[in-house]
């Protein structure tokens, strides 16, 4: 376990060195660079971007893994913050209701779009446990915090904003045997981890979510 996490540390440090900001760059220049990196990533991966208005008609993003149109690779763009979301599986449970508090687990993969390399992950069940976090809903507001896991070890308790904003669209379910919700995200720096926000770099996530208990 220690050896594995040490390897992750090297990956993370290497990636951050690669994407570290040039001190001579202005913030506007850093954002322009990030926008190009995201645009190139979308093009290179054959992603079709759909409008939120079209997504809300059926809340489906067609994708090669679960369809229903397997020929498409759709992500919906959140215009107000620049996050792109693809729902692979919504889940077979129910959506979080006002006043709910869920204890969740996550298996995830974090890829540095600028570094073109893995930053962190916990997808190897032999070496790592799922990340644990809580999530609460109060009206239209959602809050969440990590309590253990790789994300907690590297970045602290704060759950990326981009993760949280997906919760209204998912139905992860409650039972261990229920198929988990699965999403993919393209995340600009200000919707990701604090480290991404500080260094102005975009990330890609593939995340599988499952609630362990709720109250």
> Tell me: the pLDDT tens digits for 94-127?
888 999 998 999 999 999 999 999 999 999 877 7
Whether residue 100 contacts residue 136, with contact meaning beta carbons closer than 8 Å, is answered with yes
Q: Assess whether pLDDT exceeds 70 at residue 214.
A: no
pLDDT at 95: 86
CA dihedral over 154, 155, 161, 167, signed as positive or negative: positive
Cα separation, 152 vs 133, whole angstroms:
9
* pLDDT more than 70, % of the chain: 85
Q: pLDDT digit string (tens) for 116-166?
A: 999 999 998 777 889 999 999 999 999 999 999 999 999 999 999 999 999
CATH entry 3.10.50.40 includes domain 2-214: yes
pLDDT at 179: 66
pLDDT at 211: 81
pLDDT at 124: 86
Q: Assess whether pLDDT exceeds 90 at residue 168.
A: yes
Q: Assess whether pLDDT exceeds 70 at residue 190.
A: yes
Cα separation, 201 vs 26, whole angstroms:
14
DSSP state of 191: G
Residue 54 in 3-state DSSP? helix
88 token code pair = 């692979």
Integer CA distances (angstroms), 63 to 45, 104, 107, 112, in order: 12, 25, 20, 22
- Which of 19-23, 24-28, 77-81 has the weakest average pLDDT? 19-23
Q: Assess whether pLDDT exceeds 80 at residue 54.
A: yes
Cis peptide before 124 (omega within 30 of 0): no
pLDDT at 18: 44
Integer CA distances (angstroms), 86 to 5, 134, 137, 147, in order: 28, 22, 22, 26
pLDDT at 143: 96
Cα separation, 18 vs 26, whole angstroms:
18
Q: pLDDT digit string (tens) for 175-188?
A: 555 668 999 999 99
Output the average pLDDT for the chain: 88
Q: Tell me the pairing of strands 203-214 and 101-112.
A: antiparallel
Q: Assess whether pLDDT exceeds 80 at residue 25.
A: yes
């Amino acid at each position: 376990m220690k050896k594995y996490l040490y390897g992750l540390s090297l990956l993370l440090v290497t990636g951050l060195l690669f994407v570290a900001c040039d001190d001579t760059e202005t913030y506007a220049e850093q954002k322009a660079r990030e926008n190009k990196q995201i645009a190139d990533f979308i093009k290179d991966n054959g992603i079709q971007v759909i409008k939120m208005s079209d997504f809300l008609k059926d809340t489906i993003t067609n994708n090669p893994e679960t369809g229903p149109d397997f020929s498409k690779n759709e992500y919906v763009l959140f215009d107000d913050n620049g996050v792109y979301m693809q729902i692979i599986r919504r889940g077979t449970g129910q959506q979080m209701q006002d006043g709910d508090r869920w204890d969740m687990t996550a298996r995830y993969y974090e890829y540095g779009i600028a570094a073109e390399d893995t930053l962190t992950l916990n997808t190897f069940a032999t070496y790592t446990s799922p990340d644990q976090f809580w999530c609460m809903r109060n009206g239209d507001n959602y809050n969440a915090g990590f309590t253990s896991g790789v994300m907690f070890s590297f970045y602290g308790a704060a759950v990326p904003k981009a993760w949280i904003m997906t919760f209204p669209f998912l139905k992860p379910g409650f039972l261990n045997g229920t198929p988990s919700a699965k999403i993919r995200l393209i995340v600009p720096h200000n919707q990701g981890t604090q480290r991404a926000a500080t260094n102005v770099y975009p990330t890609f996530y593939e995340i599988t979510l499952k609630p362990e208990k709720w109250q």
